[in-house]
Amino acid sequence: MKVIKVLNNSLVLSTDSDNNEVIVMGKGIGFGDKVGDVLDPASIEKIYAVQDNQKGREYLRLIEDTPEAHIEIVQMILGLANAGLKGGVNEQIFFTLVDHISFAIERYHKGISIQNRLLFEVKRFYPHEFTVALQALAYINQRLNIQLPEEEAANIAFHLVNGQTDVQNMEHTLLAVKMLKDIFNIIQYHFRISIDTDSLNYARFLVHMQFFIQRMVEKKQVVSKDDFIFSQVIREYPHVYRCALLIRDYIKNLLEMVMSNDELLYLVIHLTRITEKEE
């Protein structure tokens, strides 16, 4: 790999074996290098692909203008996420995190505070990502001697959630949080219960709902032609089935799609599990 452009002391622009532009990261990798120099493979720590579109160009300019300390902070956050989250995160969120962290720091120094109205929901529905984000926030504040508020941890958590999905889209992530909140309200209202968020059943149900919502948003439903088990379950749990139908109607109105019987079946099974000990 050859140097196309030195971005800073730890980042250079290069190309991969398919001639696609990539950002190569390594401690001191850009120090003293010139255009055309061959990079030492031993000095390469990370490689990030640059999208071949307008967004990719903009991110590249952003990286050039970003202080090295901010780059190092994002690297630390990705390290925390890969260590603390099952399966880690797609490191292509490097670019969006650099953009977000730099802007958050800039807002702080200008005295601009933006409240995250989804802080409670992020804590509730994405506890693992929020825990990692709190660790990242503490590191940022200590490293830069600033005091970014707790709301900023929720913002970082959004990026970590986004980095675990097949389709990286922040709008999808925000929509997922809204859907989780609305669906849990439907469940609690229908069954007239208050779900114990510290219970194992809740933790299991939350994981199911996160994957369920991801499938709905990405329109990748589970579909089969075997309705025998479905018919048995809805006969045995009619009250739970009615709640599942309320959620189906909510999905239809919000996403303009009809849930399959398989998705309804899984929903009834998990609803039964979380509500049988709560009622």
CATH number reported for the structural domain that contains residue 11 in this entry: 2.30.24.10
- Which residues, 6+ apart, have CB-to-CB distance to 250 below 8 Å? 182, 183, 186
What is the reported pLDDT for 226?
Answer: 64
Which of 198, 208, 73, 84 is CA-nearest to residue 143? 73
- Which residues, 6+ apart, have CB-to-CB distance to 192 below 8 Å? none
**Predicted confidence (pLDDT) per residue in 92-110, tens digit:** 888 889 989 998 998 899 8
**How is residue 187 written in tokens?**
């469940």
Rounded to 10 deg, the angle between the 261-275 and 228-236 helix axes is 30
Residue 56 lies in a domain: no
Q: Both 83 and 133 in a single domain?
A: yes
Burial of 131 (0-12, 13-18, 19+ CB in 10 A): middle
What is the reported pLDDT for 25?
Answer: 81
Q: What percent of the chain has pLDDT over 90?
A: 32
Q: Both 174 and 261 in a single domain?
A: yes
Q: Both 157 and 240 in a single domain?
A: no
- Write out residues in the chain with pLDDT < 70, as ranges: 166-168, 224-226, 277-279
Residue 60 lies in a domain: no
Q: Both 208 and 248 in a single domain?
A: yes
Residue 58 lies in a domain: no
Write down the pTM of the prediction: 0.72
Q: Both 178 and 210 in a single domain?
A: yes
Range of the domain at 84: 68-162
Which of 179, 199, 175, 176 is CA-nearest to residue 187? 179
Say how many domains are in the chain: 3
What is the reported pLDDT for 277?
Answer: 58
Which of 121, 185, 184 is CA-nearest to residue 158? 121
Q: Residue 210 and residue 216: Cα distance in Å, rounded? A: 10
Sign of CA pseudo-dihedral 275, 211, 216, 227: negative
**Predicted confidence (pLDDT) per residue in 35-80, tens digit:** 888 888 888 888 888 877 777 788 788 888 889 899 989 989 999 9
